[in-house]
Amino acid sequence: MEEVYKRLKKYIDKKRNCIICGSNKFYLWGRLYYLGALRCRGCGMVSVNPHINEDGLKIFYGTYLRNRFENKVLCHDRKIMYKLEYEFINKFISRGSVLDLGCSGGFFLNEFDRRKWKRKGIEIDSNAAHYAKKKFGIEVIEGDFSDLDLGKEKFDLVVLRGVIEHCIEPGSYLKKCASILRNKGMLFITATPNIESFCAEVYREKWRLFTPIEHLHFFSVDLLDKILHPFGFELVEKKYFYEETPYANLPRDYEKMKRDILLIAKGRRDIIKDSVPFWGNMITAVWTIKK
C-alpha cells in the first residue's frame, strides 16, 4: 500500500447515508486499498464512504499537497484551461463582483478583467493567499468558506473550480453559496470530475480522477442539479472541455482507450496504470439563482 494511504488509515470516518437522498442502500463502485466509493441505489450519487476524516485530511493537505501550489505557478497547461473556462463563463456574465472559493494563488481570478470585475477570493492555504495578493492585487480572505461569516456581502458570481468534490458536506457548502449570491447571480462549477463520463465507467478505480483521499464525492451535472435545485438554482449551460484542452491527443487517447477496454474485457484492469484524457471527464457548468 502506498505510504500516504498507510499513514491515513487510522483516520477513517464513520459510514454515512447518501448526501443527496439519505438512502443507506449502496453498491460498490470502485475501491482503492481500503477506500471504497459507493453508488447510492436511490439517486446514483457516488461518494467515498467512509472517507478520511477531517483530522486526516488536515494532515494530507498540510503534508502531501504542500508542493501543489508551487507546481501550479509553473503550470502552463492550467493557464490555458483558465482562459477556456473564463471565456465560457464570460458568455453568461461579463461584469460585477466575483468570489472564487478555494482560489489558490489567484490564477483563475486573474483572468477576470479588473476594470469590469470586483475580484475576491477565499483560500485556506496562507502561502497561496499571499501570492494572490502580492502578484495579482487580489483581495483574498484566508480561511475555510464553511466557517467564515461574510456578513451582508453578496456577489454576482461565485466560482467553485475543482473544489466541490473535496468538500465533506457539499450540500451545506452549496447552500451557503446560495446565501451569498444576489438574485439572478450565477454559480460556476468547473474542473470537477464527472462520474457519468465514459472514462469513469470504463476505468473505475484506475480513472485518474479517482483519488479517494481528497476527492470525497463524485458528481455529474444532474447530481449537482439535484442538490442545487431546492436552493433556487436553475441550470443555464454545461460543457465538457476536452478537444480544445492542452491535455488532449485524440489519436493517442483513442488508441490507449481501445487497448484498455480490451484488457478490462479480459479481466486485467489491474495492469492498467491510469486513464486517458477523454470527452466528458470534467464538468463545466453554470447555474443562476432566483430569490
Nearer to Zn ion, 137 or 230 (CB): 230
Q: Which is nearer to Zn ion, 21 or 124 (CB)?
A: 21
Work out how close the CB of 207 gets to Zn ion at its nearest, in angstroms, rounded to a whole number: 21
Compute the half-sphere exposure of residue 143: CA atoms within 13 Å on the CB side of its CA: 8
How many whole angstroms separate alpha carbon 221 and alpha carbon 237?
10
User: Is 202:257 a contact under the CB 8 Å cutoff?
Assistant: yes
For Zn ion, the closer CB: 40 or 227 = 40
Tell me the closest approach of the beta carbon of residue 238 to Zn ion, in angstroms: 21
Q: Which is nearer to Zn ion, 42 or 232 (CB)?
A: 42
Lookup: cell for 213: 483521499
Indicate the residue among 27 and 251 with the shorter CB distance to Zn ion: 27
Task: Find where cell 489558490 sits.
Answer: 104
Q: How many angstroms separate the CA atoms of 40 and 27, rounded? A: 7
Position 75 contacts Zn ion (CB under 5 A): no
Sheet architecture: strand order including 139-142 = 139-142, 117-123, 96-101, 155-161, 181-193, 282-289, 233-239
Residues touching Zn ion: how many (CB under 5 A)? Answer: 8
Tell me the closest approach of the beta carbon of residue 247 to Zn ion, in angstroms.
31
Number of alpha helices (DSSP H) and beta strands (DSSP E) in the chain: 9, 11
Q: Residues 9-48: x/- map of binding to Zn ion (CB under 5 A)? A: ---------x-xx-x----------------x-xx-x---
Site for Zn ion in 217-276 (CB under 5 A): none
Contacts with Zn ion by CB under 5 A lie at: 18, 20-21, 23, 40, 42-43, 45
